[in-house]
């Protein structure tokens, strides 16, 4: 699959800005990341999406599809959603539909469903780009990349990519001056890295 429309996205280059890092999502607070690693991976990504499904089902009958629950959106719908917040994706991918869901603390997930999968599908079988609000994201990512068991690589647009060698299906991405951490998950670790290192992940515009 080839993502479109986000190759080498422009990013701010503020040398004085704080830099972010990876941490366990359970330790995350509004002030940023506390753990040296983001150990999300497939299970936590799917759990967050399923939690959004439960929130929708538990709601009142007249609520309909909750704004936070997993739902299919068009590329234009995703751009409208991103108009008020930072949001990353892998562009439009032929043969997939875009699922959008939200979780606590401003976390947003963009999944690329295929094979007739429905919103809220529990399988960790789909490319996912998650955006997490995180002051100091770049600094923390740089620090995590120096830890034992980590691999770090420069990413297009001035970004930094980090992944754990024992969990290579999740790649974490941060940019100087941006207050978000991006997680790119794919069940194929090589594809997860390629999306990041080839510049196919970028802000929704």
- Could you report the per-residue pLDDT of 171-205, keeping only the tens digit for each? 999 999 999 999 999 999 999 999 999 999 999 99
Sign of CA dihedral 22, 104, 169, 89: negative
Q: Both tokens of residue 129?
A: 């780009």
- Could you report the per-residue pLDDT of 89-140, keeping only the tens digit for each? 999 999 999 999 999 889 999 999 999 999 999 999 999 999 999 999 999 9
**What does the alpha-carbon distance between residue 130 and residue 149 come to, in Å, rounded to a whole number?**
22
CB atoms within 10 A of CB 76: 8
Residue recorded with tokens 């995180």? 134
Q: What residue spans define the domains of the chain?
A: 36-203
Cβ-Cβ contacts under 8 Å for 128 (sequence gap 6 or more): 45, 109, 110, 111, 112, 183, 184, 185, 186
Instruction: Categorize the per-residue pLDDT at 28 as very low, low, confident or very high, splitting at 50, 70 and 90.
Output: very low
Instruction: Categorize the per-residue pLDDT at 45 as very low, low, confident or very high, splitting at 50, 70 and 90.
Output: very low
Q: Both tokens of residue 156?
A: 């297009």
Integer angstrom CA distances of residue 88 from 60, 152, 183: 31, 20, 9
What is residue 48's predicted lDDT score, i.e. its pLDDT?
A: 46
Q: Which of 86, 87, 96 is nearest to 4 (CA)?
A: 96
The pLDDT mean for the chain works out to 76
Whats the size of the chain, residue-wise? 205
């Amino acid at each position: 699959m080839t993502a479109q429309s986000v190759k080498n996205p422009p990013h701010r280059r503020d040398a004085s800005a704080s830099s972010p890092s990876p941490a366990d999502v359970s330790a995350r607070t509004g002030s940023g990341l506390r753990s040296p690693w983001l150990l999300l991976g497939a299970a936590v990504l799917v759990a967050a999406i399923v939690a959004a499904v439960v929130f929708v089902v538990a709601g009142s009958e007249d609520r309909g599809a909750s704004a936070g629950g997993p739902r299919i959106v068009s590329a234009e719908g995703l751009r409208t959603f991103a108009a008020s917040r930072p949001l990353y994706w892998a562009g439009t991918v032929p043969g997939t539909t875009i699922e959008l869901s939200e979780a606590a603390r401003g976390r947003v997930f963009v999944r690329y469903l295929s094979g007739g999968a429905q919103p809220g599908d529990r399988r960790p079988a789909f490319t996912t780009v998650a955006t997490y609000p995180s002051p100091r994201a770049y600094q923390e990512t740089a620090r995590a990349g120096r830890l034992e068991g980590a691999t770090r690589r420069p990413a297009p647009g001035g970004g930094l990519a980090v992944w754990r060698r024992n969990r290579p299906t999740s790649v974490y991405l941060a940019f100087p001056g941006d207050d978000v951490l991006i997680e790119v998950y794919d069940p194929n670790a090589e594809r997860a890295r390629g999306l990041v290192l080839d510049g196919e992940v970028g802000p929704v515009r």
